[in-house]
Structure 1
Amino acid sequence: MGLSASMWTSVSGLLTHGQKMNVVGNNIANVSTLGFKSQRMDFNDYLYRGIGTTSGTNQIGAGAGVYAILGDFSQGSLETTNSATDLAIDGNGFFQVRKPNSEQMYYSRAGDFYFNKSRELQNPEGYLLQGWKVNNEKKLTFNNGATNLGNASLSKSAYVGSGTPTDIVLDSWNIVPQQTTNVTFTMGLTNDGKGDRTTSSTSPMTALFDLWDGKSTPPIADTAYATQSSIDVYDEGGGTHTMTVYYDQVDASKTDSTGNTIYNIKGLPAGYTMYEYLVTIPPSQDNRSFGGTGYNEATNTWTTEPTKFYNDPTAGTNKNAGVLMSGVMIFNASGQLVNQTAYTYGATESPAANNQVAVDPSAKSSWQPTKVSSNGLPVFSANFTGQPLANSVSETMSSGGGTPVSQVQNYITELDFGLKSLGTPTWTNSTSLADLAVQTPTPPATTPFVDYSNVPIMSNGQRQEYASVANTTSYTVQNRTQDGYASGTLSNVSIDNSGVVHGVYSNGKTLPLYQIALYDFQNHQGLYREGGNLFSATNDSGEPRLGVAGDNGFGTTRAYNIEQSNVDMTTEFVQMISTQRGFQANSKGITTVDTMLETVIGMKR
């Protein structure tokens, strides 16, 4: 080997330092690029050649080469913006975007998204952000007996959307009405001295039910109950209706002025408190009917015409028009709700398909243990719009002679006081509200919706109504919610830390529309840089791992923020200086070898 080999050693140094300056320059050029991840270049000693020495064979280095160019995928700083669709990932993960007019997917940390004229969420290059669509349609089903919710609270999934991630597109600026499918009341006990306002010597657990009269205005007097709670609910067309639940304490025992026992409810543990509740709507809004037979869906006609609950042309208004559900609640000595019963009209009847329940709603025996939803909650049907076979949870219909199906299942509403059924509920020794006055008491049970007790035979048949003056514990409603709403127009969009895109509507409702999908890779160094703030997957990067923001190692999404470049200017300038010095040193090696070669050439003179 001659001196020329030494020159090429220095040339390799010049080339590698020149390449490194490209990397440093690219980092500095992208110091303001959104979501940019900087790079660094590592050198290695390139090649060695063997030479003979007095001590044997040794090696002399032949220069340097580019060993690796590694990406720095650390978090960039977040910059606040004024756009709700500007998004930053605080932590691990990438957005997935689809190239327009293709199925090619790319990954990016740049979150400068906006809705285009087609209401698609895109970046400035037209790439479409991917996420799961959220189904806001609510449909209840009856518990078929197989559901067992267990004793432990259910864990809530971080996934709001479902299916396969797709383009995030606001299909419509409007939302259709959602009928109410769930009404929830949060309860508490207070010492307000109201006590048992209405009672009955023969059936104290149905005193409010017995007192209700849909023919009267109002159907029940203000002095008849301890408290009440009203909430607006919605039918399938978005119409608003006021639902009112009345509550009154049921004293465990009563005595008259001479000390004689009027009644005594046995089986109720010491310190426990019982309340009767009555779920109602204004009788004039009750469009249920009963007794109709042979409904023909094609012609919307009956073989036998139904009788209306309210203002029937022949029968007038039924006494129980407006009553949707009745039952009792049991509170333990600490004021916690521990049990509940629930009765609705004709719940255990078995009319033939296309026939309505025929029993008279004014009879207490017609109000029977209701069905339970697949969520473990008791249900009722208000039938605000007069659906032909949605008056009782037991009615079915058959289209064209096919298998009977439940139409009412599309119109039922859950009542949630905070208890869920553990499997299929049973009401011990109770087939209807009428049985509560005559059945033998049963011991306390642990399954919700099973009576703690039934009323024993009373000492007389006189019904008594009075206002208690005792300073007793009373029930109050602390909060109430329902899930229905009227139609509305989109007025705004918001995105939360879980990547859920919410639509804010003119009806005051905020609904989840999409959930942004996040992706991550086992080997970030294997990602291919496409330019335009995009990466693509390779065999080296491995298949992308799919998830949602804030779950399973993924970072959270931050609206009104964009991630800046993670380039550190101080580091880059230091690298620039050291690279420059390295380049200068190698160039000096070349000029030195050149001088040595000139000396060799000059020897011939």
Structure 2
Amino acid sequence: MLDSIFIGMSGLDSFSKGIKLIGNNTANMNTPGYKGSTLQFGDLMYSGHAPAGGEGDRAGTGVNAFGSYLNLKAGELRQTENGMDMAVDGGGLFVLRNTDGHLRYTRAGQFDFDLQGRLINRNDQSHVQALDGEGGLVDVVLNDLRVNPPAASKRVAFRGNLSSSATDQTISNVNVLDAQGGTHPLTVKLTSQSPDKVGYWKASVLDGTVEIGTGEIGFKDGSPIAAAAKINISYTPAGQDTALPLVLDFSTEVTSFASGNLSTLAFASQDGFQAGTLSKTAVDETGTLVLTYSNGQTAKGQKLALMRYESPEAVLQVGNNQFEDAGRGGLRLGHAQESGFGAVKAGYIELSNVDLSKEFSDLIIMQRGYQASSQIVSTANEMIQQLFSMRGK
């Protein structure tokens, strides 16, 4: 009967651990990136003697809770409208380095940039890691990517109709940019070469009143002649030493039909841009940082590192939605969309993988097991009391 009490006590201890585990899972049902656990039970050693070929009087000594098994199944992805929230659609965890220099891994990509331009985990300020060219882990930082430098104009495009019956045409405010982003309004004067060269026009490019280049364009049947649709000049802005090679392009969206003296030919666009400040940060599906600037330009930064495990036993939960290396091997670093790694989804968060209905059903089973074990202890205790009472009589 004493053995019965110890067996019942082992049940009470094991089922109480199971209830504690279910409580932890339920409490974290809304924790991003949380992975639920289940308790593993095993019967304790058997004692007694058994004759050959039979069970004899061998009896077990109760139940033991070996530990929990981590369920690493992916949770549901939920959109957050925040470009710095990230989730992995498939295998892989984001890599973090905490303030002590230790590596941690997480499925809850709740990131942001700090004042130093470093990508950090919002929960504990740990640094998000990327892989450098040699496969080493480095911090994700903006460095010199906060400002997009200006670019000088190289191509100037025009659109509209240049009246073939006109004798001249002036196009004003042909704005080009130098290497520092400064704007220079040029003027293009077109003079018809008819009747000596029907369909051809002499083009003079002026900076104010100073001619900086000339060329010739030609049309046939109202369309630009490919060999005579572009003018190449070299322009050195006042006060600067560096010449800008410019191409004045009349090859597309330009026609030359008779329309009296009225021409609609005008400046359309140029390919230079001024300096821009960082206005938006995001990542693409490969985990590459994509930066958008106020001047309409984009640039790509570092590519986030991902870690993949070969077995759930390779990682341990350490809190704060993070895991660490269990020291058993089986971890592999790489990038999103490589072999075995999923895609990064910006603007999404992975929710907990806890199934509330399953937790409640397991809770009922654990509760019934605990009640049954308690009843065993109570019954064995009553039997011992009756035995003592009989002994007293």
TM-score by length of 1: 0.47
Identify the match of residue 280 of structure 2 among 492, 495, 502.
492
**Structure 1's 509 and 162: CA in aligned 2 closer, same or farther, altered over 3 A?**
farther
Identify the match of residue 219 of structure 1 among 215, 220, 237.
215
2:149 maps to 176
Give the secondary-structure state (helix, strand or coil) at the position aligned to 1:33: coil
Give the secondary-structure state (helix, strand or coil) at the position aligned to 2:66: strand
- C-alpha displacement of 1:132: 4.3
The one-letter code of the counterpart of 2:325 is A
Say whether the 8 Å CA contact 1:10–1:589 is kept in structure 2: yes
2:96 maps to 97
Which is strand-richer, 1 or 2? 2
Work out the number of aligned pairs and report it: 311
Say whether the 8 Å CA contact 1:225–1:247 is kept in structure 2: no
Give the secondary-structure state (helix, strand or coil) at the position aligned to 1:222: strand
- C-alpha displacement of 1:45: 1.0
Say whether the 8 Å CA contact 1:86–1:560 is kept in structure 2: yes
| Whole-angstrom distance in 2 between the partners of 1:87 and 1:500 | 12
1:567 maps to 354
- C-alpha displacement of 1:517: 1.1
1:33-72 residue pairs with structure 2 within 5 A?
Answer: 33-51=31-49, 57-72=56-71
Give the secondary-structure state (helix, strand or coil) at the position aligned to 2:13: helix
1:298-377 residue pairs with structure 2 within 5 A?
Answer: none
Say whether the 8 Å CA contact 1:521–1:543 is kept in structure 2: yes
**Structure 1's 180 and 520: CA in aligned 2 closer, same or farther, altered over 3 A?**
farther
| Whole-angstrom distance in 1 between the partners of 2:55 and 2:124 | 64
Say whether the 8 Å CA contact 2:35–2:72 is kept in structure 1: yes
1:445-460 residue pairs with structure 2 within 5 A?
Answer: none
* Residue 9 (structure 1) aligned with residue 7 (structure 2): yes
| Whole-angstrom distance in 2 between the partners of 1:212 and 1:534 | 67
- C-alpha displacement of 1:486: 4.7
2:242 maps to 385
The one-letter code of the counterpart of 2:58 is Q
1:247 maps to 226
Give the secondary-structure state (helix, strand or coil) at the position aligned to 2:69: strand
RMSD: 3.3
1:546-590 CA-to-partner distances (Å, cap 9, x unmatched) read 122222121111111111111111000111110000000111111
- C-alpha displacement of 1:279: 7.3
1:551 maps to 338
1:584 maps to 371
**Structure 1's 226 and 550: CA in aligned 2 closer, same or farther, altered over 3 A?**
farther
- C-alpha displacement of 1:603: 2.3
| Whole-angstrom distance in 1 between the partners of 2:101 and 2:143 | 20
**Structure 1's 551 and 226: CA in aligned 2 closer, same or farther, altered over 3 A?**
farther
| Whole-angstrom distance in 2 between the partners of 1:78 and 1:60 | 49
**Structure 1's 582 and 573: CA in aligned 2 closer, same or farther, altered over 3 A?**
same
1:59-106 CA-to-partner distances (Å, cap 9, x unmatched) read 211111123411111111122213110111111110001112x32110
- C-alpha displacement of 1:508: 1.3
1:508 maps to 296
1:253 maps to none
- C-alpha displacement of 1:41: 0.7
Give % identity. Answer: 29
The one-letter code of the counterpart of 2:147 is N
| Whole-angstrom distance in 2 between the partners of 1:595 and 1:19 | 26
The one-letter code of the counterpart of 1:119 is G
The one-letter code of the counterpart of 2:70 is G
| Whole-angstrom distance in 1 between the partners of 2:212 and 2:317 | 77
Say whether the 8 Å CA contact 2:217–2:230 is kept in structure 1: no
2:317 maps to 529
- C-alpha displacement of 1:218: 4.7
Give the secondary-structure state (helix, strand or coil) at the position aligned to 2:16: helix
1:121 maps to 119
**Structure 1's 546 and 216: CA in aligned 2 closer, same or farther, altered over 3 A?**
closer
Identify the match of residue 285 of structure 1 among 223, 232, 235.
235
**Structure 1's 578 and 286: CA in aligned 2 closer, same or farther, altered over 3 A?**
same
* Structure 1 runs not aligned, ≥5 long: 134-160, 184-210, 229-245, 249-276, 288-383, 388-410, 412-480
1:167 maps to 139
- C-alpha displacement of 1:164: 3.2
Say whether the 8 Å CA contact 1:81–1:560 is kept in structure 2: yes
**Structure 1's 168 and 217: CA in aligned 2 closer, same or farther, altered over 3 A?**
closer
Give the secondary-structure state (helix, strand or coil) at the position aligned to 2:29: coil
| Whole-angstrom distance in 1 between the partners of 2:347 and 2:366 | 39
**Structure 1's 38 and 536: CA in aligned 2 closer, same or farther, altered over 3 A?**
same
**Structure 1's 521 and 227: CA in aligned 2 closer, same or farther, altered over 3 A?**
farther
The one-letter code of the counterpart of 2:137 is P
1:594 maps to 381
Give the secondary-structure state (helix, strand or coil) at the position aligned to 2:280: strand
1:178-193 residue pairs with structure 2 within 5 A?
Answer: none
The one-letter code of the counterpart of 1:45 is D
Give the secondary-structure state (helix, strand or coil) at the position aligned to 1:566: coil
